[in-house]
Structure 1
Amino acid sequence: MQKWVKSLTHYLTRLKLIISKLPSELFDQTLVDGMFSLEVNAKIAANFAMRGYCPLLGVETISFEQEEDGSESLIRQIDATLDYLKNAPDIDVLDDSKLIEDRAGFADIELGEYDYIHIYILPNLLFHLSMVYAIARSHGVDLSKADFDGLHEYPKGFSFLG
């Protein structure tokens, strides 16, 4: 598995873990007015994995987003995305001479494959994952950096602030 695909699957797995810890009443919450809800941010994060991988395969971007709302539909979307990435053909080399066109907000972008993945797709997936984490934490959900990255470890109740 390529390192960048490993990154996609790692963070999708973290998103799935975080979603599994959330009470259902948080899914429509936002960080501030005018921002996407926790649920929309989670769906967008999962979609960014497919938005990155499909163009490299030369296929139309696939989405496994569910029509239903809630944690179960988000878990199904993430699982289907993980299955797709696991079973999709490997792409041995990212070729910057091959340009990928996309939209970033209202901007049309055109990036080589490496930049598309590392400067556009991964940061956007992480941004929307961060919003899910921030919204959950702002509503008192007991999450830690370990939930986000799968690496850190702290004792229960630990705080740097005393």
Structure 2
Amino acid sequence: MADEAVVTSIIASPIRLPLWIAVDPTCLVAADCATQSCQDINGANDLAKDLGRFVNARARVDGARSFGFRVAESTALPDRPGKGKNPASLDLSDTSTKEDPVMSMSNASIPVFEIGLNALSAVLDKAETYAAARSIDPATLLSARLFPDMFALTQQVQSACDQAKNGGARLAGIDPPRYEDNEKTIAELKARIAKTVTFVKTLDAKKIDESADREIAFPLGPNMGHMRGADYLNHFAVPNFYFHVTTAYDILRHCGVEIGKRDFLGTIPMRVT
């Protein structure tokens, strides 16, 4: 139910405007001033700003808690509308053993490739189990494709590995390892994934973090592509990686393998309560 102090701020007047009123950080009430008008547009704007600051601050608290930060009791947050001082504020002393949650270049690449590849490997496990249970030749799955002009499953897995190792290596300023692309079985594809994960985990995070403004040059068909490190990661390396991981998943799902979104996501850093 709407806070009485907030409701009383909406009274009749000729001025009409839409207003979002935050009664509690967990409850948003939409007051449509087409029927409920505001007496003073300046007062309405001030109220909206105060409410916005409160909700944003509460979001920062919730976000900090999700990363393991301690939320101390003080008065640093904006006053809660109609409720006086809010007792919660941020104490950014990390009491957990988690990694720095800041979205650095290395945090946006190394864990993404590692988790995505491990999830892909687990999906291949389910494909192998599915084939054995139904007496299907695994080669049938490996040669499956969504459309004749698209890569088959084998090439999708190989390409996902390539995007991870090549993208990570270029950001770290080193040459990526070269693979022979000669995998013929699910076990061999899983070995390629494991080898790629091992390589990605050896990349120098500091070097990757320093690559945001460095030019990355990479083969692009018969040409060479040139991008800033941050643009290369966000708009080329990661999207291409997920394109092939997603297509591999889609091929297996289309073939009947019983996999779902959780299989695609893999083991992500999430706490469930």
Q: What TM-score do the two structures reach when normalised by structure 2? A: 0.51
Q: Which residue of 1 aligns with 2:122?
A: 17
Superposition misfits of 4+ residues, deviation over 6 angstroms: none
> Any residues of structure 2 matched to 1:42-121 within 5 Å, and which?
42-64=157-179, 67-91=182-206, 93-105=209-221, 108-121=224-237
1:79-121 Cα shifts (integer Å, max 9, x gaps)? 1111112223223524343111123456632111111111101
Q: Which residue of 1 aligns with 2:246?
A: 130
Q: Which residue of 2 aligns with 1:7?
A: 112
Q: Which residue of 1 aligns with 2:103?
A: none
Q: Which residue of 1 aligns with 2:153?
A: 38
* Partner Cα separation in structure 2 for residue 86 and residue 16 of structure 1: 16
Higher strand share: 2
* Partner Cα separation in structure 1 for residue 232 and residue 266 of structure 2: 25
Distance 1:106 1:19, change over 3 A: farther
* Partner Cα separation in structure 2 for residue 112 and residue 148 of structure 1: 29
Superposed CA RMSD: 2.1
Q: Secondary structure at the match of 1:21?
A: helix
Aligned-pair CA distance for 1:20: 1.4
Unaligned runs of 5+ in 2: 1-98, 100-105, 132-137, 269-273
* Partner Cα separation in structure 2 for residue 130 and residue 78 of structure 1: 15
Aligned-pair CA distance for 1:39: 0.8
* Partner Cα separation in structure 2 for residue 86 and residue 75 of structure 1: 17
* Partner Cα separation in structure 1 for residue 192 and residue 200 of structure 2: 12
* Partner Cα separation in structure 2 for residue 36 and residue 104 of structure 1: 18
* Partner Cα separation in structure 2 for residue 31 and residue 104 of structure 1: 24
Contact 1:64 1:81 (8 Å CA) reproduced: no
Moved more, 67-76 or 87-96: 87-96
* Partner Cα separation in structure 2 for residue 68 and residue 26 of structure 1: 14
* Partner Cα separation in structure 1 for residue 175 and residue 156 of structure 2: 22
Unaligned runs of 5+ in 1: 153-162
* Partner Cα separation in structure 1 for residue 155 and residue 262 of structure 2: 23
Distance 1:129 1:105, change over 3 A: farther
Q: Secondary structure at the match of 2:205?
A: coil
Contact 2:213 2:230 (8 Å CA) reproduced: no
Number of equivalences:
152
Contact 1:101 1:108 (8 Å CA) reproduced: yes
* Partner Cα separation in structure 1 for residue 146 and residue 156 of structure 2: 11
Q: Secondary structure at the match of 1:103?
A: strand
Distance 1:65 1:16, change over 3 A: farther
* Partner Cα separation in structure 2 for residue 94 and residue 8 of structure 1: 19
- Which of structures 1 and 2 has the bigger CA Rg? 2
Distance 1:141 1:106, change over 3 A: farther
Contact 2:141 2:153 (8 Å CA) reproduced: yes
Q: Which residue of 1 aligns with 2:3?
A: none
Q: Secondary structure at the match of 1:91?
A: helix
Q: Which residue of 2 aligns with 1:157?
A: none
- Choose between structure 1 and 2 for higher RCO, CA contacts under 8 A separated by at least 6 residues: 1
Q: Which residue of 1 aligns with 2:266?
A: 150
Aligned-pair CA distance for 1:67: 2.3
